[in-house]
A and B are shown apart, each in its own frame.
Chain A
């Protein structure tokens, strides 16, 4: 149980275009989801906390107008990278609070974004 599906796993886009990444909880309702990014050889950086039905809470230094987060249902949160640039190339991963059992959080498989 408690599976999070993240799509796409890899995406290459042109500079200036927008990219949407989806994070779905398959067998549970996730009221809270987290979005992270990771640069090579660095640790994960929390970008924002997404709560169903309300605005996401962004970490300091993360541009909310560039990284649009929508959590319109209890099973889906999306991250849209708007007007992507090469410096946005990174590994993005989501996690969801399961709110049940011994494992409180589960992670998506991640999305490798390359902006050319």
Chain B
């Protein structure tokens, strides 16, 4: 069975400070993990993905995430927040098995304070 837990429903950080969005997963198979961002009235945009290559994954807009198997985590980070980062972020797990499907976390709303 697969599951994804985004530990925070909303996160507020000041502009210019680091961002940490937490995600834990469980999967019976080797998972692929994704982070997506969704801005108001827009579709999902892929930030980055992990598919069993390097454990530190760099994405767009300065975001990166580290796959830690021992902690079953895939937290999303950014060194310095920008106002345009305010959006909703989704952690997604996908495992390629016979009944493969994707599982979405419930999302984390990121607020950027001026």
Spell out A's residues near B (CB within 8 Å). 32, 34, 36, 38, 40-41, 43-44, 46, 49, 59, 91, 93, 95, 97, 102-107, 109-110, 112
CB of B32 to closest CB in A, whole Å: 6
Between A and B, how many residue pairs show CB distances below 8 Å? 59
Q: Is A112 a contact partner of B9 (Cβ separation < 8 A)? A: no
Interface set of B (CB-CB < 8 Å, partner A)? 9-10, 32, 34, 36, 38, 40-41, 43-44, 46, 49, 51, 88, 90, 92, 94, 96, 99-102, 104, 106-107, 109
B34 touches A36 (CB 8 A): no
Asked if B96 and A41 make an inter-chain contact with CB atoms under 8 angstroms apart, the answer reads yes
List 5 A-B residue pairs with CB atoms under 8 Å apart, sorted by A's residue number: A43-B49, A44-B36, A102-B109, A106-B107, A110-B102
Bound complex: CA A97 to CA B38 (Å): 10
Q: Report yes or no: A43 in contact with B9, Cβ–Cβ below 8 A.
A: no
Contacts of A93 in B (CB 8 A): 102
Which B residues are CB-close (under 8 A) to A105? 38, 88, 90, 107
* Cβ B109 vs Cβ A103 within 8 A: yes
Closest to A2 in B: B106
* Interchain CA distance A75-B96 in the complex, whole Å: 31
